[in-house]
Structure 1
Amino acid sequence: MLSSPEIAVAMLAAGVAASVGLYWSGRQAGRKTETGAASQEPLSMLFDAGVLHHGTATALRRFALIPGAHLWDDLHETLAHRFPAFPDAPGDGEAGCITLHADDADDIQRVEISWRGPLCWVTCSDRAPSVAGGHDPAATASKLASETTPHPAWQTDRKGDVIWHNTAYQSLFQKVHGRLPDKGDRLFDPTSAEGGTRAALHPTQGDPIWFELISQDRDGWTMHHATSIDALVKAEDAQRSFVQTLAKTFAHLPIGLAVFDRDDQLFLFNPAMLELSALPVAFLTARPTMLSFFDQLRENRRMPEPKNYGAWRKEIMELVAAAADGRYRETWSLEDGRTYSVQGRPHPDGATVFLFEDISAEISLTRNFRSELEMTQHLLDKVEDAMAVFSPSGILTFCNRAYRDLWQQKPDAAFADVTIADCVAIWRQTATTDLGWQRLLTMPGRKGPREPLNGTVTLHSGLRLSCVCEPIASGGTLMRFRAVQEVATALA
């Protein structure tokens, strides 16, 4: 058995051991807590005028930096190889913020830089594990979309320097310049944009490449996107070339041409349209609407003056609708005596074409010809001989009043053309003797020389007629009838 002193020593030793164990266990727990907190502590640093002012313990250990002793250049040297767009100097002036993403999937993935005045905060984010221990699906999808999109995208700072770009931008840069872009290299010159939306790149070989640019400003930086519009530009060039070809083709036409597009705006006109419409060039080149075009024609008295302006506007709308269906065709008699033939025709893609033709000479010629015909008809009606003229095809083209009265024929009232066969049938029915009617039937269409036919017939009324069938100019045939007593009187 142990003596009392030995028991006391054993109990003292056990107490010391327990105390040491509790102390060590508490210290280890504290270390674990400290380590866990440190692992969750962000990698954040604050720079003041380019000098490191403060940083979390994790960030200072990670980058081996000491506040007050290290500058922005030291951090830039550490991160620039993984973040090519890392700025050379901290932001200053107005407040702003940019986010940079690493080129690979290891270590630090993202750097956020924000500033306000001389103060600049830098926060680095490690690769964020998912629940399964892999990458964040949303971040992975975003990075994949950036790398696989065919449209160039890039980010610029306030000075216009490129601080980030995607794979399509890099490939396009290499295609144009034959090398990979260096830090800050610009692919698109802002001054090359047309109207602020289009820009052309000029490779060393080949035709220019056209893009449409879309830019969105954020705090201190701008995001740019470029979409290829090569096919659109080529189509527009082809359209312009086609329009120029049309303009040259129609330049020498005496017919005025006015083409309106689907929006009812003047798209094309030729020089003849200027002369016929008397409209100013400035007005036509301003692409007036169809309604304005006809309104100006009315002002210039190049279309019939309407009696009611309100009704006229309605008529113009009906005119436009008729032209779209190809139903519009009218003759305009102007105040100055001229006459226009106006046609409206539909064209593909909703376009409408109006054709203006000055037919004053044609109308005048027709009127003169009609007047001469009326005079000739009047004179022949005064002749006592009955006369009928047949065309080469045997159609009755003319007869005078004496013929109509003699044979009781009204060719003008006939439903169809009156032929020589119809006339011979009437002559044969009215006469008692045969003149050789069958020979008369073949007289108009006979080829070669044609000899006149003469004879005498007696009608049922007892009247004897002297008949003469003879060829005339242009292959026509003249049939003439005269009373025998008149012939005898004339011979006497």
Structure 2
Amino acid sequence: MELVVLIAAGLGASFAALFGAFMLRGARAPVEDEPTPGARPRENRVEMFVSDGVLVDATPQARQLLDCAPNERLIWEDLAEVLRTHFPAFPETLPNTRQTLAAAGDPDTHLGIRPEGRSLRLSMTGPSLDAGEYLRLRTEMRDLSRLRLAFARAPFPVWQTDRARGVVWNNPAFTDIALQAGHAEHGSSPFAVLPNEAEELHISRTSIGQRDGGPQSWFEVQSYRLADGWLHFAQNIDAVIHAEATQRNFLQTLTRIFAHLPIALAVFDRDRRLILFNPALIDHTNLPAEFLSSRPNLLSFFDMLREKQMMPEPKDYRSWRDKLSEVIAAASSDLYTEVWNLPSGLTYRITGRPHPDGGVAFLFEDITSEITLTRRFRQEIEVTQSVLDRLGDAVAVFSQLGTLTFCNQAYRDMWGLDPDASLADTGIADATGAWQADCKPSPIWADLRDFVMTERDRAGWDAELVRKDGQCLLTRIEPLTGGPTLVRFSATPAAAQTAPRARETARETARV
């Protein structure tokens, strides 16, 4: 955009130099038709001949000033539009008296108007132009041609306004937009731009409606202060406005969705400002809604949590704040998870997640019920284990897949086995193998393995085992709810009396 401003400044300077050259090259040429000694040739003078309000003849320099073709005929209003820029007193209608007009800001340059019947002769005179100025003028004329072509082809509107905010110059792109908006080609601007007089640069957004009722177009306008007004550049930002509207709608949709989530959510942008939160955050943290709506930064957010006692009190809070950047970095990398045990007895799980465009999101999940249930369940397991460890019988429980899931201390002592000493699971085949190796031959091992692995309805049964040291064991195999199997070993001499009958019962059950 700065390059465009420099081009525009060069355009104005070149145009001014070109106009001055047109006037200077007149070199006080006499208005008479007859050449006089020392006068410049006619083609180097700025003269125009008007008949019945129409330009019928002009020197080449005059046509360059008017920017018209050699055979083009202009009416008096066209001449007035061009010449009044340099000669403010140029008459609006055809004069009937001889006049001499001074150029604005150049008292040495004059425009003479001399009536000749129904015709008028206009002659421009001024100081002589030396060779150096003439060469510089030729260079600036070439630059002016390029600049005019560049602004004529520019796809964005460019225009200049005076101190009264009237349009004094514009490019074709500005004209097209003004006509589409129903504005006159010259005069007022369709862009509602009101820069402050104390500013050197003013950037604003404005919309322009269509004359046919079509959708509005949005533009970002950059206005640069000039000595006599403002130079404006407009760029269409419809795509930006549409993207922002889409983002707002998406954010509103997310807000409605997050409003029903039980997990508290706080999203911070790349500047670490809170941009999104849901009602659950107010419920979980007791932070005031006014505070959250004021878009606090991340440090202020955690300071308020500490003040409300909604986070564990660090031993050294100042050092913790210094480490907050590490927490943010971990959250940005999706590596931050922490459990807060609050003084109130609540337990929160805090999770950090990266957010698009360099932001970060924190999730606050109340896991008090989950932690309480887990602790209670763990306590019940510990109590159950303690009770079974005090039993004299050896007890082992196998899952429906044949994996040892539980055993008591008596089982470990009886068989010299410790399932917790190995990372591998102990299966029913491994367990029966160890039992069989420590007992005298018995036909129940295959039946026992089949009973543990079967999925049909089962009935409990007993069997007798005799260890190699002569100890008699009464083995009770009982199905449990859900499919597991309980195997209990009782050391008793009386087991020998019931063993034959129990063994026959077990075999019949297995066959069924």
What's the TM-score, normalizing by structure 1?
0.73
Task: Pick closer, same or farther for the CA change 1:140–1:472 going to 2, 3 Å.
Answer: same
Match of 2:205 in 1: 198
Cα-Cα RMSD: 3.9
1:12 alignment counterpart: none
Matches within 5 A, 1:225-240: 225-240=233-248
Distance 1:397 1:305, change over 3 A: same
Please tell me whether residue 151 in structure 1 is matched to residue 156 in structure 2.
yes
State the partner residue of 1:287. 295
1:174 aligns with 2:172: no
Deviation digits for residues 120-166 of structure 1 (CA, Å, limit 9, x no counterpart): 9999899x997998992200011111111011111222222222211
Greater mean deviation of Cα atoms: 183-192 or 346-355: 183-192
1:434 paired with 2:442, answer yes
Q: Which amino acid aligns with 2:479?
A: P
* Residue of structure 2 equivalent to 1:324: 332
Q: Aligned partners of 1:358 and 1:272: how far apart in 2?
A: 10
Q: 1:368-422 deviations in whole A, cap 9, x for unaligned? A: 1111111222222222221111112222121122222211222222222222222
For 2:497 and 2:308, the matched residues in 1 are separated by 67
How many residue pairs were aligned? 406
Partner Cα distance (1:142, 1:382) in 2? 102
> Structure 2 counterpart of 1:415, which letter?
L
Deviation at 1:341, TM superposition (A): 0.7
* 1:433 match: secondary structure: coil
Instruction: Confirm whether residue 406 of structure 1 aligns to residue 414 of structure 2.
Output: yes
For residues 309 and 297 of structure 1, do their structure 2 counterparts lie closer, same or farther at Cα, with a shift above 3 Å needed?
same
Show the 5 A alignment for 1:237-276.
Answer: 237-276=245-284
1:262: Cα distance to partner? 2.6
> What letter matches 2:262 in structure 1?
P
Q: Given that residues 394 and 444 in structure 1 are in contact (C-alpha distance below 8 angstroms), is that contact kept between their aligned partners in structure 2?
A: yes
Choose the corresponding residue for 1:378, options 345, 369, 386: 386
Matched residue of 1:364: which SS? helix
Residue 456 of structure 1: CA displacement? 0.3
State the match for 1:187 in structure 2.
190
Q: Is the 8 A contact 1:87 1:163 kept in 2?
A: no
Assess, with a 3 A threshold, how the Cα gap between structure 1 residues 38 and 472 changes in structure 2: closer, same or farther.
closer
- Residue 432 of structure 2 corresponds to residue 424 of structure 1: yes
- Structure 2 gaps, min length 5: 1-34, 49-60, 67-75, 90-101, 112-123, 127-132, 197-201, 499-512
SS at match of 1:303: coil
The answer to which of 226-235 and 285-294 deviates more is 285-294
Q: Which amino acid aligns with 2:313?
A: E
Structure-2 separation of matches of 1:421 and 1:451:
21
Q: Deviations over 1:13-32 (max 9, x none)?
A: xxxxxxxxxxxxxxxxx944
| Amino acid aligned to 2:169 | W
Secondary structure of 1:482's aligned partner: strand
Rg bigger for which structure? 1
2:477 is equivalent to residue 469 of structure 1:
yes
Q: Which amino acid aligns with 2:158?
A: A
Does the C-alpha gap of structure 1 residues 79 and 40 become closer, same or farther in structure 2, counting only changes over 3 Å? Answer: closer
SS of residue in 2 equivalent to 1:190? coil
Q: CA deviation at 1:297?
A: 1.8
1:318 counterpart SS class: helix
Secondary structure of residue in 1 paired with 2:482: helix
Give, as a single letter, the amino acid of the residue that structure 1 aligns with 2:215. D
| Cα contact 1:387–1:481 (8 A) shared by 2 | yes
* Counterpart among 364, 375, 382 of residue 367 in structure 1: 375
Q: Is the 8 A contact 1:390 1:420 kept in 2?
A: yes
Q: Which residue of 1 aligns with 2:403?
A: 395
| Percent pairwise identity | 39
CA distance in 2, matches of 1:209, 1:168: 14
State the distance in 2 between where 1:283 and 1:451 align.
67
Q: Whole-Å Cα distance in 2 between the matches of residues 216 and 201 of structure 1?
A: 21
Separation in 2, partners of 1:437, 1:369? 35
Instruction: Decide whether the 8 Å contact of 1:114 with 1:120 is kept in 2.
Output: no
Question: 1:230-273, CA deviations, whole angstroms, 9 ceiling, x for partnerless residues?
Answer: 11111111111111111111111111112222333323221112
